[in-house]
Structure 1
Amino acid sequence: MARAANWAALLDDADVNRQVREACERWCSQDPRHRVALDRMRGLAARFDRLDGMERETLTVAAARRARPDHRSAIAALAMLVLVVAGGWRLAPLLVPLFPDHRTDAGQRRNVALADGSELVLDGNSAVDVDLSATVRRITLFQGQVQATVTADATRPFTVTTADGTATALGTAYIVRKQAEGTRITVVESRVQVCANAQVAGCLDLAAGQRALITPTGVQRLSDVDPRAAAGWVRGWLEADDMPLPELLSELNRQRQRPIRFDPASLAGRRVTGSFPLDDTDRAVQALAAATGLRLYRAPDGDMVLSTSR
């Protein structure tokens, strides 16, 4: 929803260029839900135009309390009109993701020091809320990926929660990633308890190097990994161990303002092992092209394209 708000803001600009429109169309084509979310956000914009002056001012002030001070805050404010139009605060939980406490754009990583001594590292295109109280420490991950390095406190559990479930620290460091099929948990150090929101599902305790995926139907164990390699993105490196090439390119694209274009079907079956710099993804994809014998070129619109054609 936050990404849809960003695109809605860009498209609302009278000077929007063709490249932006084409990039938005590519984003919409990645997942049918993207286009639905964008249409809803643009519909909110139309409803905002019909509000009177007092309502507009109320929404803008409310959004400014938490949104970043740029053009996207205006579109984020539109979401608040649902509260006015619907006549109540019952929809507020649906709008919270538009006003996260901390967020990153593509290609950014951010370290967040928490008041309890714990630390978060946000990957690109990530958004979280932080709730630290006398009885609980809760991080809500709306999108993207976060690593939590946790300071021990037996009286206050430390939990990262998503729409799929929860991951509670029984030790030190772990990674939580929100993705289309669910929420993936990777333990870097010590232990983590993973629980799904599904009523019929139980919980799993994971040790360092172990992973799990939380889905609407429960918690599924995944294959073990090297915990240091799994946390490589925190240090600015993508560690690939026999990784499918389309998956690797998708990971690089999460760090880019302009994604690398490729045809997943034509690259199916190709696998890659190596270390790739996330702070210089152009260099990473150049190394990929050299190692795989694929053609790398720039399209007329400036996008980088990786192709099997010569």
Structure 2
Amino acid sequence: MGHQNGHDTDRTSGGSPFANSVADQALDWFARLRNSEPDAGTRAAFQAWLTEDPRHEAEFRNLETLWNSTAFSDAVKTLPVGRRTLVRPKTRRWSLQAVALAASVLIAVGVWQYPALTIAFQADFQTATGSQTTVRLPDGSMMMLNTDTAVATDFEGGRRHIRLLRGEAFFDVVHDPAHPFTVSGHYGEVQVLGTAFSVRTGDDEDQVVLERGRVEVLCLCEGKGKGKAALVPGEAVSITASAISPVRAADPSATLAWREGRIIFENASLGSVLEELRRYHRGPIVVADDRVNRLMVTGNYRLDNVEGALRTLADAAGVGFYRIPGGIIILR
């Protein structure tokens, strides 16, 4: 349940852990038959596997139904998945669940591929999904960018200003009383002299976590919600378009574990964990049943193997894991 003290193994706990071997076997056969023309021996082995257990055919047909839905086919055309030879299913009426799942995949693919050209043009430093980088700034301060992050910098004329355009960054700031260091997100701004803290920006709010020193967080909103908050180590705050939240306790060793390439969570909903892992995965992660999101899990994972983490989470939670060519992962 706690940090693994640097070990490279992953760990999760959840309800009713078991390996979904039938789903894995079905996915293996699906990929083999789709990506190459099977010889007689392969076809015979497939038919033997298909008939040895009713669950085998059920899982395989579920994959076929998803893959051959119109919505999913349209989504797949936008991805570099290579050949699309596959076993065609018998004509059948699609279930509402299959149609809903295909529609979810289509939406996920569309969101994932939306170009952020405006941010790219503004950014001085940028990381790709799943990547991190450390930058030494002109004043000697250190900036570490997390996954899918973009920043613009301004160090002209004695200024020390960072604009977080997207994502999350950690700052270890050199003390300079004559030149305050500021970081602005979408909704708030952090002002410091010398300290270590992180800022994360999203569609709905900015989050600030302080590891060392002291910072003042200003709300950039207008009207009654405008305000500020002072943080001491181990505290965090959120800023929205209309208000700044009360100061709350935070555990930097867990919240900032991404700096060591890990994600740590305890008794968290699987939905919230998946939302975090999506930031590090280059393809969509789709949940076909909302009940999956409500399962509670605890774990400590390496971020350089998100797919492995997702497989283990699926096993621990007792849900099916499917990987579709193009980097699409489906949990149901």
> What is the TM-score when the length of structure 1 is the normalising length?
0.68
Match of 2:319 in 1: 294
Q: How does 1:132-147 map to 2 (within 5 A)?
A: 132-147=155-170
SS in 1 for 2:249: coil
Distance 1:107 1:159, change over 3 A: same
Match of 1:5 in 2: none
Structure 1 residue ranges, 4+ long, deviating more than 3 angstroms after superposition:
21-25, 27-30, 299-302
Equivalent residue letter for 1:146: A
Distance 1:173 1:299, change over 3 A: same
1:147–1:174 CA contact under 8 A, matched in 2: yes
The reply on whether 1:277 has 2:302 as its aligned counterpart is: yes
State the alpha-carbon separation in 1 of the partners of residues 324 and 110 from structure 2.
20
State the alpha-carbon separation in 2 of the partners of residues 206 and 111 from structure 1.
24
1:97–1:142 CA contact under 8 A, matched in 2: no
1:171–1:189 CA contact under 8 A, matched in 2: no
1:235-258 per-residue CA deviation (whole Å, 9 max, x = no partner) reads 100111222211111111111111
The one of the two structures with greater contact order (alpha-carbon pairs below 8 A, sep at least 6) is: 2
SS in 2 for 1:221: coil
Equivalent residue letter for 2:310: V
Match of 2:90 in 1: none
1:53-112 per-residue CA deviation (whole Å, 9 max, x = no partner) reads xxxxxxxxxxxxxxxxxxx9xxx4xxxxxxxxxxxxxxxxxx566331011111111111
State the alpha-carbon separation in 1 of the partners of residues 327 and 238 from structure 2.
37
The reply on whether 1:249 has 2:279 as its aligned counterpart is: no
Unaligned ranges ≥5, structure 2: 1-74, 81-101
State the alpha-carbon separation in 1 of the partners of residues 132 and 196 from structure 2.
17
Q: Which moved more, 1:118-127 or 1:281-290?
A: 281-290
SS in 1 for 2:79: helix
Match of 2:108 in 1: 26
2:173–2:193 CA contact under 8 A, matched in 1: no
Among 239, 260, 267, which residue is 1:235 paired with? 260
Distance 1:113 1:29, change over 3 A: closer
Q: How does 1:37-186 map to 2 (within 5 A)?
A: 76=117, 98-186=121-209
Match of 1:210 in 2: 235
State the alpha-carbon separation in 2 of the partners of residues 257 and 158 from structure 1.
33
Q: Which moved more, 1:166-175 or 1:235-244?
A: 166-175
Unaligned ranges ≥5, structure 1: 1-15, 42-71, 77-94
State the alpha-carbon separation in 1 of the partners of residues 155 and 282 from structure 2.
32
1:18-37 per-residue CA deviation (whole Å, 9 max, x = no partner) reads 1439977425468xxx9xxx
State the alpha-carbon separation in 2 of the partners of residues 256 and 117 from structure 1.
32
1:175-214 per-residue CA deviation (whole Å, 9 max, x = no partner) reads 1111121111111212211101123412100111211111
Deviation of 1:267 after TM superposition, in Å, equals: 2.1
The reply on whether 1:258 has 2:317 as its aligned counterpart is: no
Equivalent residue letter for 2:108: R
Deviation of 1:224 after TM superposition, in Å, equals: 1.6
The reply on whether 1:194 has 2:214 as its aligned counterpart is: no
Deviation of 1:144 after TM superposition, in Å, equals: 0.7
Distance 1:301 1:162, change over 3 A: closer
Equivalent residue letter for 1:20: L
Distance 1:268 1:223, change over 3 A: farther
Distance 1:96 1:181, change over 3 A: closer
Match of 1:81 in 2: none
Distance 1:302 1:194, change over 3 A: closer
State the alpha-carbon separation in 2 of the partners of residues 240 and 180 from structure 1.
22
1:144-183 per-residue CA deviation (whole Å, 9 max, x = no partner) reads 1111111111111111102312011254211111112111
Q: How many matched pairs?
A: 233
1:102–1:128 CA contact under 8 A, matched in 2: yes
Equivalent residue letter for 1:209: G
Identity of aligned residues (%): 27
State the alpha-carbon separation in 1 of the partners of residues 291 and 121 from structure 2.
37
State the alpha-carbon separation in 1 of the partners of residues 202 and 190 from structure 2.
15
Equivalent residue letter for 1:18: K
2:323–2:329 CA contact under 8 A, matched in 1: yes
1:108–1:124 CA contact under 8 A, matched in 2: yes
SS in 2 for 1:168: strand
> What is the TM-score when the length of structure 2 is the normalising length?
0.64
